[in-house]
């Protein structure tokens, strides 16, 4: 079936089978492989994307449900060529190690920063994203530092 949706700000039309998951469409025809499949049952959160601004597990959403809706993936977080404060903080402060949870983690953290701060705590906002590397402390630190930088506009340079 034919599907029309907005991906990372651009309207896209894709051919998808009725049983295809949003994750299949993203990783397959749209070639957006930033969203990962770690479990296929909504536990690990590595496929987290924003669907109309809310974080969802792309492995639990049928592509057909996304007709006419807006999807933002990790590839759509950065504004043009520059990293967001969150992305920079993850690279600089230990938020990313092996990196496989990072795309989903960043998407959840972005939702937290943008809209969910008043609804949940920082740790609650990433509780659906499993990281096996960091112990989460560096991720929490990265998100807090990015938030500080956002407020003050004084994010440090990436360095060498």
Partner 1 sequence: MSRTARDRETHAVGASVPRADGTPKVIGTARYVDDFPPMPGELFGLTVRSPVPRGLLNAVKFDPTFDWSDITVVRAEDVPVNVVALIAEDQPVLAARHLNHAYEPILLLACADKHKLLRAKQAISLDIEPLPPVLDPEAALQNAATIWGTDNVQKRYLITKGAADTPTPEDSLPAIDAALAACEVRVTGRYSTHHQEQLYIEPQGVIAWWDDKGVHATGSLQCPFYVHKAFLKAFGEDASRIHITQAVTGGGFGGKEEYPSIIALHAALLAKKSGRPVRMVYDRKEDIEATTKRHPTLCEIETGCDKDGTLRVLKMRVLMDGGAYVTLTPVVLSRGVLHAAGAYSWTDAHIEAAAVATNTPPNGAFRGFGAPQTIWAIERHIDKVARTLGMDPLDLKRKNVLTLGASTATGQVLHTSVAGVECLEKARAASEYDHKRALRSPPGSRKARGIGAAVFMHGAGFTGSGERYLKGKAAVDLLPGGKLLIRTASTDIGQGTETVFRQIAADAAGVPLANVDFAVPSTTVVPDSGPTVASRTVMVVGSIVESAARSVGDRVRAEQASSGGTYAEAADRLLAREGTVTSLLQYSPPDYVKWDDQRYKGDAYPCFGWACFIAEVEVDRDTFEVTVTDFWSATDVGKAINPVMCRGQIEGGALQAIGWALWEELVWKDGLIKNPRMTNYIVPTALDAPPFHTLLVEAPFSFGPGGGAKGIGELPMDGGAPAIAAAVEHALGFSLDDLPLTPERLFSKSLTKGASL
Residue 21, Cβ density class (10 Å: 0-12 exposed, 13-18 middle, ≥19 buried): buried
Q: On the CB side of 114, how many CA atoms lie within 13 Å of its CA?
A: 15
CB 127, CB 108: distance < 8 Å: no
131 lines the binding site for partner 1 (CB under 8 A): yes
Within residues 89-118, the interface with partner 1 by CB under 8 A covers 90-94, 96-103, 106
Binding-site member from 83, 149, 150, 155 for partner 1 (CB under 8 A): 83
**Distance of alpha carbon 17 from alpha carbon 111, whole angstroms:** 29
What is the SS3 assignment for 49?
strand
64 lines the binding site for partner 1 (CB under 8 A): no
Least distance from partner 1 to the Cβ atom of residue 38, Å: 4
CB 144, CB 122: distance < 8 Å: yes
Binding mask 40-59 for partner 1 (x = CB under 8 A): xx-xx-x-------------
Give the binding site for partner 1 (CB under 8 A). 27, 31-41, 43-44, 46, 73-75, 77-78, 83, 87-88, 90-94, 96-103, 106, 123-124, 126-140, 158-160
């Amino acid at each position: 079936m034919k599907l029309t949706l907005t991906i990372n700000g651009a309207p896209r039309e894709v051919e998808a089978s009725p049983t295809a998951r949003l994750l299949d469409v993203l990783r397959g025809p749209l070639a957006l492989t930033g969203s990962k499949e770690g479990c296929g049952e909504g536990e690990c959160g590595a496929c987290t994307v924003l669907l109309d601004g809310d974080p969802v597990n792309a492995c639990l959403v049928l592509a057909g449900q996304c007709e006419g809706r807006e999807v933002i993936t990790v590839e759509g977080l950065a504004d043009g060529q520059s990293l967001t404060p969150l992305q920079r903080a993850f690279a600089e402060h230990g938020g990313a190690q092996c990196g496989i949870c990072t795309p989903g983690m960043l998407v959840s953290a972005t939702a937290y920063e943008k809209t969910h701060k008043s609804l949940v705590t920082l740790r609650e906002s990433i509780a659906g994203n499993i990281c096996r590397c960091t112990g989460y402390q560096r991720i929490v630190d990265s998100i807090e530092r990015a938030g500080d930088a956002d407020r003050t506009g004084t994010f440090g340079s990436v360095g060498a």
